[in-house]
Structure formats: structure tokens, C-alpha cells
Amino acid sequence: MSQDHKILLSEKEIPRQWYNIQADMPNPCLPPLHPGTKAPVGPEDLSPLFPMELIKQEVTRERYIEIPDEVFNIYKIWRPTPLFRAHRLEAFLDTPAHIYYKYEGVSPAGSHKPNTAVPQAYYNKQEGVKKITTETGAGQWGSALAYACHVFGIDLEVYMVKVSYEQKPYRKTLMNTWGAEVFPSPSPRTQAGKQILSRQPNSPGSLGIAISEAVERAAGDPDTKYALGSVLNHVLLHQTVVGQEALLQMEKAGEFPDVVIAPFGGGSNFAGLSFPFLRHKLKEGRKVRCIAVEPASCPKLTRGEFRYDFGDTVGMTPLIPMYTLGHSFVPASIHAGGLRYHGAGAIVSQLLKDGLIDAVAIQQLECFQAGVTFARTEGILPAPEATHAIAEVFRQARQAREAGEARTILFNLCGHGYLDLAAYEDYFNGNLKDHELTDQEVKEHLSELAEYPLPV
């Protein structure tokens, strides 16, 4: 077993294919339904929003999809990413557990998001698209797509959740640097935005609302398409470069993880890291526990229901079979902006329903405390989203210590927090609070789904 701190790969070891877990799931995902007719959606329903190649990737059961050379060459700018063994953190936690982390913060935008932004921009360019619209929460997706659109010469219009637009002005500047236009959402630029503003002029916004705005803009213009940074099957697919590299790196370290942990917003970084490991569980019965960590203030996986629900707030997207808190749910304004989403991707939801993955919800103070300890031991300041994974790693490491057992833990350090210093400042000044939903609140939001079909 290696005692190295860094486990690196060469450029030749960057994966040449994405791994599609739809080939190996015991129960396939249920189809998305048309919001009007409630019939399964076909490719033609999605073509106003997405290029055909991405629509194909959304539904294919082919196990491996070739990564185009143009995408591979851009991946080489930051891939392969390093895998670290957290020796100093292990010593601090006085745990027999071995802790490894895959670091995606070395990408241009500082997170895992460019792994899908680049292929999405590429396929749009291939099909002659001039402009893309999108939403962003904390600004990580918006900045990743701004970079990717700049690379391929496509215009980008970003609807940024208003609370993040105000809390995180530097992400907007980053998007502007790469040439994108950024608007706080809800905005008066769309019917969806106007509708929300008329009811709630001070709405902090939510990812669901921003998606409604971006989708509306794309649907109304034949030269414009829409891009989503998480949730959809093709997004999860692109992120599997992360886990395929990590699999190879863990092999070089002479280990296979007992536990794989990642923060959970819509499921893309969790899927990206865990699916290549989960494949060994599905195909060979290898033991590996994959844990998605969500904020206690937005607990769709642990307290939501598996239902058909919209991906956006206004109800313009297809109905997706997913764990959800209801599409009108607006999470508390916690700093982990990327985790403030009411639903979860269809694939991850099906896997959770089938008991093949696990989920936990953690309060933000425990997460920030873990994030600060991580920065003090390992040096890197984690994104607030990533601190959710770290908090669960701490729990696992303590359990291993109490049980006196070896345990190999791998987690996704899916982004750095250097543009989230305002969040850390709030934490140090004691301005952050824990927040948990009451059962009554959960029930009220879910009751809005009564009129939609049950996923059976």
C-alpha cells in the first residue's frame, strides 16, 4: 500500500470514454413525461432545448460513449485531476481509516462543472447553436459554462439565483470575464420571472425559478438552446471521467474504497465519482457504500418522496421520476448554493429507491466546522457544498476509530471555496444558523404533487 500523499496520472490515462450506468442498472429509470399530455417524452419534445446528440445520450443504454477528440483536448487543460491521501487529516482525527479525496478544484472554474460544460458546449456548436441560456446557483455552473461557451464561440445568458448574485458577486465577474451576460433571478426579462416577482417582490430566487427563466428564453428562440449543469442523465454521464480516474488512482494506491462520499445538489458530482465504483458492485458484487450528502435544509433524498415532479418551479420541464420536496419548495438561503435544489436526477433517484446507494442530511454548522478543520489540516479551502461530504467523512472516521476497524474512505472535493470567502466570514462571525424543515412544511410542499401521475 502506498504512503504517497498525491496519486497522479499521466495525460494518457485520462479516460477516452464516459461510463453510462444505465447499461448496468437492475431497474431502468422510468421515462420522463410531457408536462401537458403526461405521455412519455420523445426526442422531438426535447429538441427545442437540447442538441440531438445530448438527447441521445440522455436515453442510451450503451455502456461506454466515446469522448470526442475536441473535448478530450480541452479536458487536458486540467485533467487528470489529483487524488490525495489525507494523511494529516487522518492524524488529526486519530482514526485508523484511510481517507482519500479526488480534487476537482483545479479546473478553470474551480469545480467539477467544466467536465460537462465543455462537451455540452461542443455538441451545441456541432449543431449550429448560436446562443445558450442557463441558470446558476452559487455561480459555479454559470462560470463553467461561460468558460466552455467562450472556448467554442457561443453566446451565453445566465440567470443567477438572486441571493447568490448578491452574496457572491465575484462569480458574476468571473462569468463576465469569459464573456457571459448575467441576470439576477427572478428577473423581469421573462414571464416566469414576472409571475414570481408579482407574488413575491423580494423573492431570494431558487434554482427552480432560474431554470424556468432560462428554459423560457431558449424555447422562444430557434437559434438558442438551454443547458443544465446537473440532474439530467447526460450531465451525470460526462462527470464519470472523475470516478474512472479515481478508480485507477485508488488501484495505484493499492486500495478499493469501502465508502464513497459526495455532496448532493442534483447528483452530478456524486454520480461522477461513485458510478464507476458502483459498477463493480452491480456487476461483481463488490462491497462499496456510496453516500450522497445533502443539506438538512434541503432534504429531498432523506425526507422527500419518489414522485413525478417538474425540474423547475413554474412547470415547464418534463415531469421527472425523482426524489423531490415539490417544485415550489424554496430552500433556506444557506451558503451551499449549489445544493439548494428541490429534486434529484432520475438515475440517482432510482438507485436510491432500489437501495443501491445511501443518503444522509447534515446541518450547515457541522459542515463548516468540518470544512475549516480540513483547510487547517490539508490546506485546501473547500467549497461550502464540498464541506457536506467532509462532515460525513468525519462521522465515518470517528465510527472507524470507535469500532477500532480499518475503513477506506474516498470523497469528492468537488470544488474549492476561494470565491466563497463571504460564507466563511459569516461562519467565523457566528452569523450562520442551522435550519431544519418541520414535517408539516415537507407535507405541505409535497401535497402539490397530488395531481401528477405516480411513478409505477
Ligand X SMILES: *Cc1c(COP(=O)(O)O)cnc(C)c1O
- Tell me whether residue 110 or residue 400 sits nearer to ligand X (CB atom): 110
The least CB distance from residue 453 to ligand X, in Å, is 26
- Tell me whether residue 299 or residue 415 sits nearer to ligand X (CB atom): 415
The least CB distance from residue 141 to ligand X, in Å, is 6
The least CB distance from residue 396 to ligand X, in Å, is 19
- Tell me whether residue 265 or residue 331 sits nearer to ligand X (CB atom): 265
The least CB distance from residue 149 to ligand X, in Å, is 17
The least CB distance from residue 235 to ligand X, in Å, is 7
Q: Give the closest residue to 279 by CA, choosing from 57, 44, 18, 77.
A: 18
The least CB distance from residue 230 to ligand X, in Å, is 3
Q: Residue 365: exposed, middle, or buried by beta-carbon count in 10 A (0-12, 13-18, 19+)? A: middle
Q: Give the closest residue to 91 by CA, choosing from 16, 3, 188, 2.
A: 3
Q: Please give the Cα distance from 182 to 136 (Å, whole number).
A: 10
Element (H, E) at 389: helix 386-403
User: For 236-296, what is the HEC assignment?
Assistant: HHHHHHHHHHHHHHHHHCCCCCCEEEEECCCCHHHHHHHHHHHHHHHHHCCCCEEEEEEEC
- Tell me whether residue 356 or residue 400 sits nearer to ligand X (CB atom): 356
Dihedral angle at the C-alpha atoms of 424, 388, 79, 421, nearest 10 degrees? Answer: -10
Contact 303, 287 (CB under 8 A): no
The least CB distance from residue 232 to ligand X, in Å, is 10
Q: Please give the Cα distance from 143 to 110 (Å, whole number).
A: 9
Q: Residue 456: exposed, middle, or buried by beta-carbon count in 10 A (0-12, 13-18, 19+)? A: exposed
- Tell me whether residue 400 or residue 423 sits nearer to ligand X (CB atom): 423
- Tell me whether residue 139 or residue 407 sits nearer to ligand X (CB atom): 139
CA-based Rg of the chain, rounded to a whole angstrom? 20
The residue ranges that bind ligand X (CB under 6 A) are 111, 113, 140-141, 230, 263-270, 338-339, 383, 385-386, 414-415
The least CB distance from residue 111 to ligand X, in Å, is 4
